[in-house]
């Protein structure tokens, strides 16, 4: 069994007049330490699926397993979630923002400052612990959001288009940082993105979904040569263009 397993996931949204199927018969497994991406047209249920994996709500049918155990309140803390917006608390300094999860989980406060400073060093923000979010750029704030997500030591990171609000240069730098950091910490990661290039450059596998309802259409294995490179360098490799064209063609076929 894979580290993260989705078995027969089906989800519907209900209104007073109808039921709309959003996801249908999703079965997939993700290895421990693997970085994968979910892509597909609008309406294919990528973010809904990510929310189900996070345990934010149960699927209409099917089950999610982490390391052989069904997702529940008991093991939900194994999952970290990083969103498009950083959602930093503007009235708290950066150190307090990073350690908010530790405080909620009632971890020992003696280690909070050490944890925050170590993570800030890791994400290239060694001297901002006393600053406030308003004093940082968008890219720096997302680095803080990454540090906050890692602070509680989750085994799985769910990334919901975390770079989409950034300028292109900041986005490329943050892609490199995220991949480098998650490899160093040996984290399993699932990225939801509309950006095919981003998915190829960051991932080991890309899961392509079709829409109405969302189903798993095809899985693309990223060549080993690209996986060994940073996302920035992977975009320059000759194999990158071939994979991009293959995924683009398949996406176009979905209409």
pLDDT at 39: 96
pTM of the model: 0.91
Domain of 207? 4-80+156-253
Q: Looking at residue 122, what is its pLDDT?
A: 84
Tell me how crowded residue 160 is: count the other CB atoms within 10 A of its CB.
20
Q: Can you give the pLDDT at residue 99?
A: 86
Instruction: Say if 130 falls within a structural domain.
Output: no
Give the per-residue pLDDT at 205.
97
- Distance separating alpha carbons of residues 186 and 32, to the nearest angstrom: 8
CA atoms within 13 A on the CB side of 70: 6
In a domain, 190, yes or no: yes
The answer to whether residue 110 is domain-embedded is no
pLDDT, mean of each 10-residue run, the chain (255 residues): 90 84 95 96 91 91 92 79 86 90 66 77 86 91 89 90 87 91 91 95 97 94 95 96 96 86
Assess if residue 135 is contained within a domain. Answer: no
Instruction: Please give the tally of structural domains in the chain.
Output: 1
> Is 188 part of any domain?
yes
Write down the pLDDT at residue 1.
Answer: 59
pLDDT value at residue 2: 84
Predicted pLDDT of residue 215: 95
Residue 121 lies in a domain: no
Residue 171 lies in a domain: yes
Q: CA-based Rg of the chain, rounded to a whole angstrom? A: 18
Considering the domain boundaries, does residue 123 fall inside one?
no
CATH code, domain carrying 242? 3.40.50.300
- Cα-based angle 208, 210, 212 (whole degrees, multiple of 5): 155
Residues in contact with 185: Cβ distance below 8 Å, sequence separation at least 6, in sequence order? 150
pLDDT for res 134? 93
């Amino acid at each position: 069994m894979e580290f993260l397993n989705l078995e027969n996931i089906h989800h519907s949204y209900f209104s007073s007049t109808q039921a709309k199927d959003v996801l249908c018969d999703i079965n997939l497994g993700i290895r421990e330490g693997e970085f994968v991406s979910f892509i597909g047209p609008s309406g294919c249920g990528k973010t809904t699926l990510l929310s189900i994996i996070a345990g934010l709500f149960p699927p209409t049918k099917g089950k999610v397993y982490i390391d052989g155990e069904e997702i529940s309140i008991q093991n939900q803390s194994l999952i970290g979630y990083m969103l498009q917006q950083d959602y930093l608390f503007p009235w708290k300094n950066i150190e307090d923002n990073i350690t908010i999860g530790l405080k909620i989980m009632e971890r020992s406060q003696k280690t909070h400052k050490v944890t925050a400073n170590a993570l800030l060093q890791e994400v290239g923000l060694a001297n901002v612990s006393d600053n406030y979010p308003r004093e940082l750029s968008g890219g720096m704030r997302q680095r803080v959001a990454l540090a906050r997500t890692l602070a509680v030591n989750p085994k799985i990171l769910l990334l919901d288009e975390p770079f989409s609000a950034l300028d292109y240069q900041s986005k490329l730098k943050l892609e490199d940082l995220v991949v480098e950091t998650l490899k160093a910490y040996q984290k399993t990661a699932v990225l939801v993105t509309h950006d095919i290039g981003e998915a190829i450059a960051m991932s080991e596998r890309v899961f392509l979904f079709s829409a109405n309802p969302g189903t798993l259409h095809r899985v693309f294995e990223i060549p080993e040569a690209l996986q060994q490179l940073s996302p920035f360098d992977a975009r320059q490799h000759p194999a990158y263009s071939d994979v991009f064209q293959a995924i683009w063609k398949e996406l176009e076929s979905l209409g």
